[in-house]
Amino acid sequence: MEIRELSVNGAWEFTPVQHGDSRGVFLEAFKAPLLAEVIGHDLDLAQVNVSVSAAGSVRGVHFADVPPGQAKYVTCVAGAVLDVIVDIRVGSPTFGHHDTVLLDDTDRRAVYLAEGLGHAFCSLADGSTVAYLCSTGYNPGAEHGVNPMDPALGIDWPTTARDGSRLTFELSAKDTAAPTLAQAREQGLLPEYDAVVAYLAQRALLDQ
């Protein structure tokens, strides 16, 4: 498996080796020991989520309070999405920056994002199916969002679908009403970078 560290600290891209023949394709989509070696601790798998999205659907930017936060290992098993990871950690050297990865059923890449980072994606095809391996379960009282269309984020959302047609964005009511990054910071919703680093360092010590 090929591993690439993204420009947002705490996020990586994983590209598996695919073995194909006349029957189809086989690949190792997730390897726990390899991920633990990369991130410095085991991924506590608490929940697996699956979303199916029409072309143009935008989900996110979502994040959870730290601790415990919610780390995610994300892949697209059908269709294609532009996956976006946003640094929303106040005090981080790359606060407000983001990186993108195309997740699809061709290269079958995955991304890992650590606790404290924001996550979003835009579906590039009808029926795009995204699977998330999550370190913690759903906790509505501790989960928040930033509006993905906030100009301050500078996300260059795609305007063309996988089939070449023009995308029409569709967001949930919750994501549409989500605060901007600046508003979320003013409201005290965003995680603090130093607190996230300390928490992850403690996690790594516990796994030794």
User: What CATH number does the domain containing 72 carry?
Assistant: 2.60.120.10
**pTM confidence score:** 0.95
What is the enclosing helix (H) or strand (E) of 42? none
Q: What is the pLDDT of residue 208?
A: 65
> Is 199 one of the catalytic residues?
no
- Which positions make up the binding site for substrate? 23, 28, 47-49, 59, 72, 119, 143, 166
Catalytic residue, candidates 41, 73, 98, 132: 132
State how far the Cα of 87 lies from the Cα of 29, in Å rounded to an integer.
25
Q: Residues of 38-66 as b/e, b for ≥16 C-beta within 10 angstroms? A: ebebebeeeeeeeeebebbbbbbbbbbbb
Q: What is the mean pLDDT of residues 143-148?
A: 98
pLDDT tens per residue, range 41-73: 999 999 999 999 999 999 999 999 999 999 999
In this structure, what token pair is assigned to residue 173? Answer: 């009511």
> Is 132 one of the catalytic residues?
yes
Q: Where are the alpha helices (DSSP H) in 62-180?
A: 173-176
Domain count, the chain: 1
Q: Which domain holds residue 35?
A: 2-207
